[in-house]
Amino acid sequence: MTDPDWWRSAIIYQVYPRSCQDSDGDGLGDLPGITRRLPHIAALGVDAVWISPFFRSPMADMGYDISDYCDVDPLFGTLADFDALIEEAHRLGIRIVIDQVLSHSSDQHAWFRESRSSRTNPKADWYVWADPKPDGTAPNNWLSIFGGPAWEWDGVRMQYYMHSFLASQPDINLHEPEVQAALLDTIRFWLDRGVDGFRLDAVNHYFHDAKLRDNPPRKPSDDAHDVPETNPYGFQEHLHDKTQPENLAFLKQLRGVLDGYPGRIALGEVGDGDRSPATVDAYTSNNRLHSCYTFDLFGPEFDPDHFRKVFAKFGAAAEEGRVCWSFSNHDVVRHVSRWALPGDDPAAIARLAINLLVSLKGPVCLYQGEELGLPEADLAFEDLRDPYGIRFWPAFKGRDGCRTPMPWEAAAANAGFSTGKPWLPIPDAHRAAAVDAQSVDPASILAAYRTAIALRRSHPALASGAIRFLEAPADIFAFEREGSGEHLLCVFNFARTPICWNGVDLPALGWARKLM
């Protein structure tokens, strides 16, 4: 717990608070529930837990619309409950990383209420306001990720305000030094309570083009894994509404705050299409963020060629461990469903995936439930809670399918998650994969996760060694890891049939490692 470079080889487990464990029977997971389940997480062997937002919020976007950065929403508990969680996690040797949403707030935040009250109040410029065009239309062509224009009319100020997400999530104006100072104070608040780091939501959305220039159309060859094809947001090249150069100075300020608390880290989320490698490199170099992850491995591609291209394009950032790798999170279809072909055994996909993930260089993130091999839940429209999915149904089903509650006990009511009605349904397939059932099965996916994580811990070359990718046939992904006196060959077979390569026998969707 004292190593300042712990993040370089960290395995970070993401908890989605609503769906971890309910302690009071209201059908929603909470902080005491997370504390109760920390032993399960500790048994995996992970280094840290990333907790998605639990701050005060009207919950229009499941907590990513914050109305008070320095308090816990009563749905999740109290500040005392958070302090107890931190204490227990640290006792178990687990660090706590919390989500921080600095690009936007809820429209119910006191800052926004004051900002919208007039054009002359002390916080008038704390959000992104702009006059309409002469014909009354929005100031420019910027689009919201959640559909429609990125501008909402306000009849009090007689201006538009910018929202990159929901209209109830106004963008904060970080061009204002007072705003930057106020946001950094919220970072200090949680650092003083003992958190070990921050996952920074939408970190490349912090600044917008001050001239409000239109975005150009996206070139047909560009990649846009961070939006579904049904969303017109992907039709633009987002040159001016995000990823602005001013962000670099702010991230250095943020790092300066963290450096005052030894061992604390910042992990950024970068959704930036083809510009992601350059953005990650800029954001994690020159004493800014420690690491970033992107959407490059959240797509449907599951083949060695794609993996090789992704690692190659990140270049030095990947070689130096500044890229955080993950296959699933709360925003994408679970990878065992995303990558399985008709006739595949999803369990084989799960085992291959975790063994590949722990063999890569740099920190990695696991998403709650993937250690059970949970498939994506297929929910009815009337069960949806995600505004993104409701907006684009039926072409896009939203993110609720990966957010359903954790199944803890196969035979218990609601799979042991809650004594009340869960906020999202728990599929029967998930109940059968419950933690208690897998914990006693040495051939389970849970056992495979524990073994793979322990392997990474036991081999210094996997934790911090150099990585070198090898030429191999189309279905083989091979690389070497070398360091601390170890030299490992790691080989993964993506084919649905057994293969022998360089004297290594590989089962279908299998892998092998050997000391060189």
Active site residues per annotation: 201, 269
Residue in 92, 6, 21, 7 with CA at minimum distance from that of residue 51: 21
Q: 360 and 398 in contact (C-beta within 8 Å)?
A: no
The CA distance from 368 to 515, in Å, is 32
**Contact criterion met (CB below 8 Å) for 60 and 106:** yes
What pairing do the DSSP bridges indicate for beta strands 466-469 and 476-483?
antiparallel
C-beta separation of 399 from 331 below 8 A: yes
Cα 509 from Cα 499, distance rounded (Å): 10
Q: Return d(Cα 26, Cα 378) in angstroms, integer.
A: 23
Distance CA 29, CA 23 (A): 7
Please name every residue paired with 501 in a beta bridge, in sequence order, or none if there are none.
504
Is the Cβ–Cβ distance between 192 and 203 less than 8 Å? Answer: no
The total of other beta-carbon atoms located within 10 Å of residue 455's CB is 15
- Phi, psi for 434 (deg, rounded to 5): -60, 155
DSSP result, 345-383: -HHHHHHHHHHHHTTSSS-EEEETTGGGTPPPP---GGG
SS3 507: coil
